[in-house]
Amino acid sequence: MNSAVQPVLVLVEPAGPLNVGSVARLAANFGLQHLRLVAPRCDHLGEEARRMAVHAQPLLEQAQLFDDLAAALTDCRRVVACSGRVDSAAVPVEAPVDALAWLRATEQNAPTALVFGREDRGLSTDELLLAGRVLRIATDDGYPSLNLSHAVAIALHELRRLAEFPPAAPGPAALSAPGSIDDPALRGDLEATLSDAENLLLEVGFLLPHTRHARMAKVRTLLQRAQISSEEVALVRGMVRQLRWASRRPTP
């Protein structure tokens, strides 16, 4: 897999060391070099994880740890989250081929990320809102839940297949080809802008403390659907700062 399109593999609060070790091995199998763990609930360097990682133990040892998902994605432009939920209106829910084609379409050097949630309850709505796309692996309705490492294996296989055999026919995946749209802004820049906007809207009374979370979630959803670029984020942040200055200016 070309290093320019290698995603960072992110696991949110993994609880099973066997799963973490298996995911490290899968990352090595498919040529990924970066593993990020968000608040792991197990010892990712313990004997069980190392046993399952086999020759991928160095990847476990170099794994980066983060307190929350937002911190793990600060330097990423394109983020795809894997979820078994079908009721999320936060971001588009897509088949693996389409979501992963979009992930690969970046023309920037900033990392992209492929995110997987907790073994027992997946990703929260707030966490899904940090992704540009939500990937859903089709399973039987009678037993839709996949083991974490199995879901990772399917996603990485699809990603590798796209790298080696790009879609030839026009379609959603083809529309995500490099150069067709601007890259989204860095996650950290977007989150900082949203934080500035939230503080201003609280200050002027548009947001109330008890409704701020729900309303800002709608704003985040809007910007995710628009796939706001770095230049657009800078424009919005400049507007917020000017409005703050104007709102605090003494009245003549």
Question: Range with the lowest mean pLDDT among 3-12, 60-69, 145-154, 163-172?
Answer: 163-172
176-188: pLDDT as tens digits: 444 445 788 898 9
3-state secondary structure of 190: helix
Q: Are residues 160 and 202 in the same domain?
A: no
Q: Are residues 78 and 164 in the same domain?
A: yes
Q: Is the dihedral of CA 226, 175, 30, 20 positive or negative?
A: positive
186-245: pLDDT as tens digits: 989 999 999 999 999 999 999 999 989 989 988 888 887 778 888 999 999 899 999 888
Query: For residue 233, is it within any domain?
Result: yes
Q: Give how far Cα 131 sits from Cα of 50, 75, 141, 222, 238, Å.
A: 30, 13, 25, 12, 24
Other CB atoms within 10 A of residue 6 CB: 20
Q: Are residues 135 and 206 in the same domain?
A: no
What CATH number corresponds to the domain at position 46? 3.40.1280.10
Q: Which domain holds residue 199?
A: 187-248
Question: Residue 199 has which token pair?
Answer: 């503080």
3-state secondary structure of 214: helix
Overall domain count for the chain: 2
- CA dihedral (91, 95, 98, 101) in degrees, to 10, reads 100
Query: What is the rounded CA–CA span in Å between residue 63 and residue 70?
Result: 17
Closest alpha carbon to 135 in 174, 69, 90, 80:
80
Query: For residue 151, is it within any domain?
Result: yes
Find where tokens 């990392």 sit: 111
Query: For residue 181, is it within any domain?
Result: no
Q: Is the pLDDT of residue 252 over 80?
A: no
Q: What pLDDT was estimated at residue 56?
A: 96
Q: Are residues 138 and 235 in the same domain?
A: no
Query: What is the rounded CA–CA span in Å between residue 95 and residue 172?
Result: 10
Query: For residue 182, is it within any domain?
Result: no
Q: Are residues 56 and 153 in the same domain?
A: yes
Q: Is the pLDDT of residue 48 over 50?
A: yes
Q: What pLDDT was estimated at residue 173?
A: 45
CA 210 to chain centre: 27
Confidence (pTM): 0.84
User: Chain-wide mean pLDDT for the chain?
Assistant: 87
Mean per-residue pLDDT, 27-31: 95
Query: For residue 21, is it within any domain?
Result: yes
